[in-house]
Structure 1
Amino acid sequence: MKIEAEIKNIKKVLVSDDRFYQIPDYQRPYSWDKDNLSDLIDDLITSYKENKEENYFCGSLVLVNNESDGRYDIIDGQQRTTSFTILACVIRDLYLSKLSPKAKKFVSNAIQDEFESEKRKLKFLTNEQYQIDFEETVLKEIKFQKVKNVEKAFPDNKYLQNAHFLKLFLEERIDEQCIDIDDFTLWLFENVVMTVITCPSQDSAIQIFNVLNDRGMPLSSIDILKSSLMRDLKSKEDRNAFNAKWEAINADLKFGDFDLDA
């Protein structure tokens, strides 16, 4: 298998493509914050208002086919993919009655495969440690609450925090700009594009990730060592046990940003 690269819109990535995604165990947790989401919504609204007929490019998605799990591991693009999945849930729970059948289908199928109700057919699974919170509080239904401080209200759930932030930013921009939410949702799925790179191995994917990732933190040597060791474990139970032990040791030794190449 060769490295394949293609420009795909969000509809193709999350709705139409026969691909299901997951975050590999060695990846850092989802970490986008309020400022990242504000910038994302501002960029999307500006592009929609000023260059509606053109595509909006939002970065890369680097994948490896994990045949043992029947999903594609996301090596690069976790923050964007997670945030777009949360955004789809926010649109669903705020504006569903205002969406056309086409937009409704885009939103629902970006979260859950149309023909399967099983958990394995959720389009996107985050790190297993956080999946239950993500699934119960965001993917199934977001129960929005009026709170003064989102971080303090949901201190251990970054997904629910960001759902509330996206609600705030989206509602503000929609009202300020008098935007038709149905038209914006269709544009979001059809005109927001990513470079999707599918790699034959984790090694090639990590090399591409470190070349492309000029804004975030590249995988450290500790992350790469962990990935290499986990790759040799055949069963999911062994990988889970290894990951739990690794995280316990990492917490005790406090590797942090330590790099073997330093």
Structure 2
Amino acid sequence: MKRGSELAFDAIQRTIGEIILIGEHVIPRYQRPYAWDEENVFDLWNDLKDNPEGHFLGNMVVHPSGSDSWDLVDGQQRLTTVLIAIRAIKDAYEKIGEKGRAQGLFNYLQRVDLSGDPTFRLKYRTESGFLHLSLFSEPESKIRQTNPKSNADKAQYSAYKIFARNIEAEVDKSRGPDVETIDAIRDRFIRSTVVYVRVDDRQDAFRIFETLNDRGKSLNQVDLVKNQVISSIPVTAAQEEERLWVKSVSQIESISWSKVKVEDFLGYLWNSTSHQQDDEIVAVNRIRRSVDAYMRSKANAEQGARDFIRLFSETAEIFKEFDECLASPNGKHWADLVPAERWRPDRYASVDHSLYGCLVPGSNLPLNLLFSLLRNYIHGTRRTLSNARLVDFLRAIENLQFRWSISQRPSTSTIRRAYRRAAYSVDSASTANDIVKALQQFKRDANSLMPTDAQFKDGLKKLTYFTQRPQDVHRVRHTLERIEEFWGSSRLSRNQVVTLEHIEPQGAKSINSNQNFWVGKLGNLMLLPMEVNSALPSAFSGKAPKLAQWANSKDLILQKQIEVGAWGNAVANRRMEELLDAAISVWPKVMTI
């Protein structure tokens, strides 16, 4: 046992076999689910095969959580994988009738505790899942009949199958007795070594983990921050916070609108707050230190930790709703998230209508400002942000981001700085007037960043929509919807289900032919109710009377061609210019402050 700076720990290199037999290891609630992919599993197999005398697996950090029980702070993925391999080796012994050896390995999966009850060597503090109910319990035949549901369960089952196939292949290739080959595989796993670090309590275990893993890389920031905040809450009182953390991470990873990694989300989250001394952007690899400074600034570090986890949870829930907004921007999906005293369907319908325009570009750049605005509006205690002001802010964000993304401008420090400054101001606002000032400053920053009209038009000309190539569908639809609003007198209602109609039909035209590409451009597209679109004839002359019922009166070129019953590439190009002229008014280069 070593002591220094009030930190007591024991670190010794041990075989994984010795460690498993110590007692039971417990995976806490806050740990991420099992996530090793096939490449990780193959790498472990090959590393052990190349080093049969004892491959070094790295560090494991634990702290006591009961009699013969140890909580895993670091090493759960590796230990889980080794135990899955041991199960596959046990099954290989049973296939050749070596029941004694199989029973010997079963002792590495389960044991009898001091009360005489069977228990697992590796346990989750949450409910048992596929690992326990199948891999560590069922006969091999039943394991292979199961249908894992979660990603973690599927990854565990995949690891099991990889080990089973590799063991079988190695046995088939071996010229010696099968039992000796399997013995060698078994020994490679149980003789692999780790530096096993045992610490007296959870907080010290987190400190050791941080020392071992903090190299200033963003990859580790989420785990480091998680350990930092969880360790500030007494172990007996942290169950709700641990549950919230796991739920939030799962929500973030399930978002389909934008594949934001949890580490990136943490960056956008922290840069959506005013918990720092100034509004400078906090780099991801410095967030842990910034969070630590924030918690130490509180009179009670435990309360600071709880506040951070609540912030993390509230923001993850907001982020989750972005998928729903893109799918159906009617505001209804916010009902379960918004406190009952703040819920009004009409207000959130207007929020969704404006938020949709911010999400359509598919850019992560505005995330910190969107998080700050929506958190303030939904959960803010000062009530500084009205519905009308929120919608104004969202429209300003859309104006900048839609122009920026359509013009295919890259992320720059200047635009990131504009979003960060606005997010900081919104989060720190104490009055409604502070919000007004934040919006005015954001518009000034945005106006200085706006791409030119020519750049914006060039970007719009590149948008296409084909059934076989739908990636621009949201941008195209939104462009036409906003132009409809700008023109006024639209015959389409906001709540109507509309689809994109190719005025000149796609038909059997190849989208890979340059001469057909105009068919997918804006000039050849219009919005129609779904039931109308599905019943239209193909030829323009045949469908013109029906189009006349829905075409906007300001859509002058289309209106004229409907009258004459003729349509073609040249006309579609002229209509394109008409739409582009409207677009630069919808998304002006200079916003009124």
Q: TM-score range by the shorter chain?
A: 0.7 to 0.9
1:172 offset after TM fit, Å? 2.4
Distance 1:139 1:65 in 2: 23
Mean alpha-carbon deviation: is it higher for 169-178 or for 193-202?
169-178
- Structure 1 residue corresponding to 2:148, chosen from 150, 154, 162: 154
1:253 offset after TM fit, Å? 7.4
What secondary structure, in the 3-state scheme, does the structure 2 residue paired with 1:154 have? coil
Correspondence for 1:59: 58
1:114 offset after TM fit, Å? 4.9
1:218 aligns with 2:220: yes
Distance 2:247 2:145 in 1: 36
Distance 1:239 1:98 in 2: 48
Distance 1:193 1:102 in 2: 25
Kept in 1, the 8 Å contact 2:89–2:182? The answer is no
Q: TM-score, normalised by structure 2?
A: 0.36
CA 1:60–1:250 in 2, change beyond 3 Å: closer, same or farther?
A: closer
1:118 aligns with 2:117: yes
1:104 aligns with 2:135: no
Larger radius of gyration: 2
RMSD of Structure 2 on Structure 1 (CA)? 3.4
Kept in 2, the 8 Å contact 1:34–1:162? The answer is yes
1:206 offset after TM fit, Å? 2.3
Correspondence for 1:244: 243
Bigger RCO (CA 8 Å, 6+ sep): 1
CA deviation map 1:60-117 (0-9, x unaligned)? 21111123x7621111111110011111111122323547677435411111115676
1:39 aligns with 2:47: no
1:232 aligns with 2:234: yes
1:41 offset after TM fit, Å? 1.1
Correspondence for 2:390: none
Kept in 2, the 8 Å contact 1:27–1:223? The answer is no
1:192 offset after TM fit, Å? 1.7
Q: TM-score, normalised by structure 1?
A: 0.76
What secondary structure, in the 3-state scheme, does the structure 2 residue paired with 1:61 have? strand
Please tell me the residue identity of whatever aligns with 2:38.
K
What secondary structure, in the 3-state scheme, does the structure 1 residue paired with 2:34 have? coil
Correspondence for 1:30: 34
Kept in 1, the 8 Å contact 2:82–2:189? The answer is no
Distance 1:38 1:189 in 2: 13
Correspondence for 1:196: 196
Please tell me the residue identity of whatever aligns with 1:83.
T
Distance 2:25 2:44 in 1: 22
What secondary structure, in the 3-state scheme, does the structure 2 residue paired with 1:223 have? helix
1:36 offset after TM fit, Å? 0.8
Please tell me the residue identity of whatever aligns with 2:82.
F
Distance 2:163 2:76 in 1: 17
Distance 2:27 2:167 in 1: 26
Distance 1:39 1:249 in 2: 30
1:169 offset after TM fit, Å? 2.6
- Structure 2 residue corresponding to 1:74, chosen from 59, 72, 75: 72
Equivalences, count = 243
Correspondence for 1:175: 172
CA 1:256–1:223 in 2, change beyond 3 Å: closer, same or farther?
A: same
Please tell me the residue identity of whatever aligns with 2:194.
M
Distance 1:124 1:217 in 2: 26
- Structure 2 residue corresponding to 1:9, chosen from 9, 15, 19: 15
Distance 2:161 2:96 in 1: 20
What secondary structure, in the 3-state scheme, does the structure 2 residue paired with 1:13 have? helix
CA deviation map 1:4-42 (0-9, x unaligned)? 011111221113x2x210111111111111111111111
Distance 1:59 1:107 in 2: 23
Distance 1:201 1:233 in 2: 10
What secondary structure, in the 3-state scheme, does the structure 1 residue paired with 2:35 have? coil
1:117-136 residue pairs with structure 2 within 5 A?
118=117, 121-126=119-124, 128-129=126-127, 131-136=128-133
Mean alpha-carbon deviation: is it higher for 242-251 or for 28-37?
242-251
What secondary structure, in the 3-state scheme, does the structure 2 residue paired with 1:31 have? coil
1:20 aligns with 2:14: no
Higher helix share: 2
Kept in 2, the 8 Å contact 1:23–1:127? The answer is yes
Kept in 2, the 8 Å contact 1:99–1:182? The answer is no
Kept in 2, the 8 Å contact 1:63–1:75? The answer is yes
